[in-house]
Structure 1
Amino acid sequence: MATTIDAPRAPYSSAPRHRGINWEKWGWVYMRASGVVLLILIFGHLFVNLMLGDGIKAIDFAFVGGKWSDPFWQWWDVIMLWLAFIHGGNGMRTIVNDYATRPAMRTILKGAIAVAVVVLIVLGTLVVFTFDPCPANGLPSELPDFCSTL
C-alpha cells in the first residue's frame, strides 16, 4: 500500500528570492536566540520571586514596589517584556504566513499583530519605569499602608 503526500501549499510565489534581506532567516534566528535568553530571564525571575525569601506569600503590591525601585530589576523585567512580546508577535506572524491564503488578509492580520505588540510594549515599559507606589500628591486614605511609614 503506497501513500502519497500532497505538495505543501506555497503562500507566496514559488520562485526563490535572492535579493534583499532574508527576513524569514533573521526571524528564525531571533526566535532561537530570544528563546534561550527568555529561558534565563524567566527562570531567574521565578527563582527570585518564588524561591528566595518567603515565596509566593511575599508577593504583593509592596513586593513589586520594592523590586521596581531598583533599576536592575526594572531593566530585567523590561528586557523580559520586550523579548517575550516580540517573540510572541514573530510566532503569530509565522502562523499568519502559514495559514492566511489571501494577501490582503495576511497584510491586515500582520498589521494588527504589529500594532498590538507595539502598544503592549509601550504600555508595559511605561508601567515599569513610571511605577510609584507612594505618589507625593496622593490622598493618605487611598495610599497603601506602607506609604505612611516613608
Structure 2
Amino acid sequence: MTEGIKKTSARQEQTPNARSIPHAASTESRLYHRLEEALHSGSEVWFRMPGTRLVGIPIFLDTDYVEVVDVDVAEGFEDEELPDEPYQRTVWLIRLEEISAISYATDRWSKERFERLLEQSHKDDNIRDDNGRESLDSDDDDEEEDAFAS
C-alpha cells in the first residue's frame, strides 16, 4: 500500500502489467534490431498487428514506438484522368508492443540471377550426400523403400 492512500480509497496505485512492459522495447530484441536496420537502409517493412496490417518505411525508432511513412498513388486511372493530387503520404506511429510480426525484403534479384539461383539449387539437389546415396528426388530411393516395405 502506498503511503497516504487508504486501502479503501478509490484511487489505486498503477502497477504495470506484463503487457505494458513489452519485450520489444528492449534495444537488445531482434524486432528492434530489424527495425533499426530498416531505418538506416530506408527499407520498406510490412507490419502485422491484431486486426490490421501496415506497410511503410521507418523514419523514427525508439524503445516504445516506430514511426513509418507510406506513400500511396491513386490507382485505376488513366494518366489524363488522374486526380489533381494523386499521391498521399500517411505516417503511422506504431507501438512496438502491438507488433506481432514484420517482414522485409532481404535481397532482390534480376530475372537472370533468379534463374541461375534456381539452376544451382536444382544441381545441388542432385549431388550425392555423404553416404553416396542419391538425393530424395532419385528413383533409386523409391526402390529401396519398396525393399524395406516387404
What's the TM-score once normalised by structure 2's chain length? 0.24
Higher strand share: 2
Structure with higher Rg: it is 2
Higher helix share: 1
RCO comparison, higher one (Cα < 8 Å, 6+) = 1
